[in-house]
C-alpha cells in the first residue's frame, strides 16, 4: 500500500493503475477509521480493482465554534487498518497541499438543500464538503466513489453535485454500520463519556421504534415523528431535528411510504451525533 502526501503522487499512481487497465475507486474520509469506513472500502472493492482512501480533516467544512482542532486523528492506526483492508493508496495531504492559496477562490455551493437539517445548524458546512469532494474527484478522477448513508444529507447533495456538474463518476452509497448496541459508528463517539455513550443508544432505539411503527402499518408522519421524539425524550439529549423525509430527497414527507427516511441530529453534552433509518418492509432492511 502506498501513502501519498501530494496530489502529484496520487495522479502518478492513478495513471499507473489506469495503464494496467484497472477500474479506480475512491473512499473519502476524515480518518480515525472505524468499521463504517472499512465497510465503504469493502464496497469500493466490489466496484473497482484499485481503491484509494483519502484521509483529510477538511477545515473548510468546520464552523468557527466546531471541533476542528480536537477532531480525533490517528494516522498510524488508520494506515494499519487500510493496509489490512487491501487499499492500494492512502492520500493523507496537509491542509496546505489541499488549499495552497488559503481559502479557495472558487467553491462548490449548493443552491438548495443546504439550509435544512444539518445545514441549518452548520452554515457553510456543505459548501466545505462539496468543495473538498469535488477536489478529491478531480485529483483521483475515479470511476466510482463510495459514501456512507449515515450522512444522509451529504449523500443527497453529493449526488446532486455530480449530476448537476456532469462529473464523470459513479456515486455508490453503503448502509450504516452500527456498534453491537445499535449506536451508529462515528469517529466522534470517542468524545462520549461512558454515561453519554449509554444515552446515545436512545437515538438508534427511537429509530428502531419508528421502523417498528412503520412495519405495523403506521403511515402518518406526525404519529411516527411523535414515536421518534418520545423515544429520544428521556435520555436528556438536545434534539436538533427529527424528521421524516421523502425517499432520496431532503423534502419533509407529507405521507410516509416505502423508502421514506427518518433522520435525527442531537447533541449529547458537547457531542453532535446524527443517525437515520430507511423505512422499509423488506427483510433486508438496514439496521437499526
185 part of the interface to ligand AMP, by CB under 6 A: yes
> Which one of the listed residues 10, 14, 37, 45 is annotated catalytic?
37
29 part of the interface to ligand AMP, by CB under 6 A: yes
- Is the dihedral angle over the CA atoms 3, 142, 171, 86 positive or is it negative? negative
176 part of the interface to ligand AMP, by CB under 6 A: yes
> Cα 214 to chain center, whole Å?
25
To ligand AMP, the closest distance from the beta carbon of 129 in angstroms equals: 8
Q: Which residue has cell 446515545?
A: 200
CA distance 153 to 132: 16
Binder to ligand AMP among 150, 199, 225, 272 (CB under 6 A)?
Answer: 150
Catalytic-residue membership of 34: no
Which residues fall within 8 angstroms of residue 12, CB to CB, at 6 or more apart?
none
Give me 274's grid cell: 446524527
CA distance 105 to 125: 17
Binder to ligand AMP among 40, 242, 244, 250 (CB under 6 A)?
Answer: 40
Binder to ligand AMP among 85, 187, 202, 204 (CB under 6 A)?
Answer: 187
To ligand AMP, the closest distance from the beta carbon of 184 in angstroms equals: 5
Quickly list H helices, 22-165. Answer: 35-47, 75-84, 95-98, 117-121, 125-140, 152-164
43 part of the interface to ligand AMP, by CB under 6 A: no
Binder to ligand AMP among 14, 39, 50, 242 (CB under 6 A)?
Answer: 39
- Is the dihedral angle over the CA atoms 180, 183, 188, 194 positive or is it negative? negative
User: Based on CB atoms, which residue is closest to ligand AMP, 140 or 225?
Assistant: 140
To ligand AMP, the closest distance from the beta carbon of 263 in angstroms equals: 13
Q: Which residue has cell 477545515?
A: 59
Count, residues near ligand AMP per rule CB under 6 A: 17
37 part of the interface to ligand AMP, by CB under 6 A: yes
Task: Write out the catalytic residue numbers.
Answer: 37
Amino acid at each position: 500500500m502506498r501513502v501519498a502526501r501530494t496530489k502529484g503522487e496520487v495522479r502518478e499512481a492513478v495513471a499507473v493503475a489506469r495503464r494496467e487497465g484497472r477500474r479506480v475507486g475512491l473512499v473519502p474520509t476524515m480518518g480515525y477509521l472505524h468499521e463504517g469506513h472499512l465497510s465503504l472500502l469493502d464496497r469500493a472493492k466490489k466496484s473497482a480493482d484499485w481503491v484509494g482512501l483519502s484521509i483529510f480533516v477538511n477545515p473548510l467544512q468546520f464552523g468557527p465554534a466546531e471541533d476542528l482542532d480536537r477532531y480525533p486523528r490517528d494516522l498510524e492506526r488508520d494506515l494499519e487498518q487500510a493496509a489490512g483492508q487491501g487499499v492500494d493508496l492512502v492520500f493523507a495531504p496537509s491542509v496546505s497541499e489541499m488549499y495552497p492559496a488559503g481559502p479557495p477562490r472558487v467553491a462548490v455551493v449548493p443552491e438548495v438543500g443546504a439550509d435544512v437539517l444539518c445545514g441549518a445548524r452548520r452554515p457553510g458546512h456543505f459548501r466545505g464538503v462539496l468543495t473538498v469532494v469535488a477536489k478529491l474527484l478531480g485529483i483521483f478522477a475515479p470511476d466510482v466513489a463510495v459514501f456512507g448513508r449515515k450522512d444522509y444529507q451529504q449523500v443527497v447533495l453529493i449526488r446532486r453535485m455530480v449530476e448537476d456538474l456532469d462529473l464523470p463518476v459513479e456515486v455508490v452509497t453503503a448502509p450504516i454500520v452500527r456498534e453491537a448496541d445499535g449506536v451508529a459508528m462515528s469517529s466522534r463517539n470517542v468524545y462520549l463519556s461512558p454515561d453519554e455513550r449509554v444515552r446515545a443508544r436512545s437515538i438508534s432505539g427511537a429509530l428502531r421504534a419508528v421502523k417498528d411503527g412503520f412495519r405495523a402499518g403506521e403511515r402518518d408522519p406526525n404519529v411516527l415523528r411523535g414515536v421518534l421524539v418520545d423515544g429520544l425524550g428521556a435520555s436528556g439529549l438536545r434534539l436538533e431535528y427529527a424528521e421524516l423525509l421523502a425517499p432520496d430527497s431532503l423534502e419533509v414527507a407529507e405521507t410516509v411510504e416505502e423508502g421514506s427516511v427518518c433522520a435525527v441530529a442531537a447533541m449529547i453534552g458537547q457531542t453532535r451525533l446524527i443517525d437515520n433509518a430507511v423505512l422499509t418492509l423488506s427483510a433486508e432492511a438496514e439496521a437499526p
